[in-house]
Structure 1
Amino acid sequence: MLDVPDLEEFCALAERDPVVNVFALHRARMTRLEPRWLGGEMWGRFEAGRLVSACHVGANLVPVQATEDDARAFAERALAGTRTATTIVGPHEAVRTFWNGVAASWGRPRETRWMQPHLEISGPPQVAPDPQVRRTERADLDEVYPACVAMYTEEVGVSPETGGSADLYRARVTQLIARGWSFARFDAGRLVFKAEVACASSGAAQVQGVWVPPDRRGEGLAAAGMAAVVAAVQETIAPVVSLYVNEWNHPARRTYERVGFVETARFSTVMF
């Protein structure tokens, strides 16, 4: 298990692909790999005393620079304990190999999404940003929070409030607003587009939660809204903006392509 003295070496490893590894970099720098703040563990695999791969193990299990051999080794390590992860997510080959190693013991997942395009944009957006998109404020919470619940439920298939988790999820939404990581457009006080930055490092920021109410889809709100988010994030948070999208979500993929995102990898997600 990696700890505070391993932080520099871990960050050097993750920086080999700082956009794909932005979640792990964000978590490492926020917590300095202290287990009490990490809310889990960061496993490392060494060869000749050198860190060659890692795996974030908490509610999200995320391989970092893991080859198939590394992923198999992490799966063997995982089988020695109890599953804590509700989601396995990361580059496709590493996730697939890890899952094949633990599937017989971890039980049937609620859903698997195997070939999710991972998209990036490092230049200016290719459509005009919506000037009405802005960072949200605490006073917007009564509009932002229900939209976040609706988006999550539509995307994941269960409500984030399930099992008495409403207070925790509301706190997360409030935290993103406070950080300046929540963006939205309002028409006559009603939220009609939203997106959040999920995690960020000095080199990249990952966007999540892109959503337009069903009755306002098809108006171009998502493309112009995402262009505004990209421009704001690049100006104030990180030079590269990334996200990953379900392979079957062709309308979203077309929107991101219009904005200027390009595919750089494939992710996979296993959800429990």
Structure 2
Amino acid sequence: MGHQHTTWLKSQLALNPCENVYLISLLEVTGTAQLNSPAGTLYGVFDGDRPVAAYWVGGNIIPVTASPGTNQVLAEMLNADGRYSCSLIGDRTIILDLQSRLNWGRARGVRERQPLLALSSDPVVEPDEAVVRATLDDLHTIYPASIDMFTKEVGFSPIEDGESNFLARVRGIIRCKNCYARISDTLPQGGPVPRWPATDRDEQVLFKADIGIRARRIVQVQGVWVHPEVRMQGLGAAGMAAVVKRTRDKGHTTVSLYANDYNEAALRMYSRVGFEQVGTFATVMY
């Protein structure tokens, strides 16, 4: 896509900001639809000179106002070029249709139904005041929690091929002030925090969540995790309420996230905080 398509792109992204927050954040930085960098490229599908759909193609493939017809156009290009993206993410109907048109072989994992949730008001449960931004001093306490979250959520370990890349990723999230956590050696009701196999530290993470994508008015939360020995005790809801409050206090009016439909405990927790479903995602991982 080119500079001349920027107005069209802005209008389409605004139709569903929770679904399109990643591209909204890119557009806010660059100011143009001509997005082409080592991280990825924004391609358009056109009816004559008029764009009818767009696709971000990088490590992830993300559709904008796509349809089965525009999926076929993209699939022909992707099949000819060969696979270099790791995952497809977006509206469930579009993503599963696109996957069916690709000859990339068996996917590593498919999350067919992921409720997309959003909250544009204050949380309805009391925030945990002990949840604060993590600092680099907390890196080696946060790191095992991040590994456990990724492994349980995605289905494979992020460090199975080595630790350096994932450690750098966690460090970057903390350095950019996008990780919120409650770190303590005691439980809220008193008593020591139970140990779990991934760490032998006295201070441990009880709750953590990352701001994975940040635009001016909306953010997407990722990497939500609660210490496995203290789950179902309200720490997740209070922690998420704190993340929502601190994020909204900084001017981001909407907090969004998506979760797997089989994670019923997490979905109940998000509902308690005040999140409501605004769409349904799917993720296909290669």
TM category, shorter: over 0.9
Inter-partner Cα distance in structure 2 for 1:266 and 1:249: 14
Aligned to 2:44: 44
Aligned partners of 1:50 and 1:14: how far apart in 2? Answer: 16
Partner residue in 1 for 2:200:
none
8 Å CA contact 1:68–1:93 kept in 2: the answer is: no
- Count how many residue pairs are aligned between Structure 1 and Structure 2: 267
**CA contact 1:58–1:85 (8 Å) conserved in 2:** yes
Q: Distance in 1 between matches of 2:126 and 2:90?
A: 31
In the alignment, what sits opposite 1:98?
98
Of Structure 1 and Structure 2, which has the larger fraction of its residues in helix? Answer: 1
Alpha-carbon distance in 1 for matches of 2:210, 2:180: 6
Q: Which residue of 2 aligns with 1:217?
A: 231
1:23-53 superposed Cα distances (whole Å, 9 cap, x missing partner): 122234445654234x222111123423221
Moved over 6 A (4+): none
Change (3 A) 1:48 1:3: closer
Aligned residue for 1:121? Answer: 119
Determine if the alignment matches structure 1 residue 181 to structure 2 residue 140: no
Given residue 147 of structure 1, which amino acid in structure 2 is its aligned partner? A
Whether 2:273 is the aligned partner of 1:259: answer: yes
* TM-score for the superposition, normalised by structure 1: 0.92
Q: How far, CA to CA, are the matches of 1:192 and 1:202 in structure 2?
A: 29
Q: Given residue 109 of structure 1, which amino acid in structure 2 is its aligned partner?
A: A
Give ranges in structure 2 of 5+ residues lacking alignment: 186-202
1:234 maps to 248
**Distance (whole Å) between structure 2 residues aligned to residue 95 and residue 221 of structure 1:** 33
- The 8 Å contact of residues 184 and 204 in structure 2, kept in 1 or not, is answered as yes
Aligned amino acid, residue 204 of structure 2: R
Does 1:15 find its partner at 2:50?
Answer: no
The structure with more radius of gyration:
2
Amino acid at match of 1:90: G
Shift of 1:267: 0.4
Residues 1:136 and 2:134 are matched in the alignment: yes
Residues 35 and 42 in structure 2, CA contact (< 8 A), matched pair in contact too = no
- d(CA) in 2 for partners of 1:5, 1:182: 37
SS in 2 for 1:15: helix
The verdict on how the C-alpha distance between 1:156 and 1:237 changes in structure 2, with shifts beyond 3 A counting, is: farther
Matched position secondary structure for 2:90: strand
1:169 and 2:183 correspond = no
CA deviation map 1:102-156 (0-9, x unaligned): 1xx1101111111111100001101000010001111111111111111101111
Taking structure 2 as the reference length, what is the TM-score of the superposition? Answer: 0.88
Secondary structure of the 1:106 match is coil
Deviation, 1:226, is 0.3
Match for 1:232: what amino acid? R
Deviations 1:58-92 (A, max 9, x none): 11111112122222222222112111111111001
For residues 67 and 29 of structure 1, the distance between their equivalents in structure 2, rounded to whole angstroms, comes to 25
- Structure-2 residue corresponding to 1:24: 23
Q: 8 Å contact 1:3–1:35 — kept in the other structure?
A: no
Unaligned segments of structure 1, at least 5 residues = none
Question: Aligned-pair RMSD on alpha carbons?
Answer: 1.7
Q: Alignment identity in percent?
A: 35
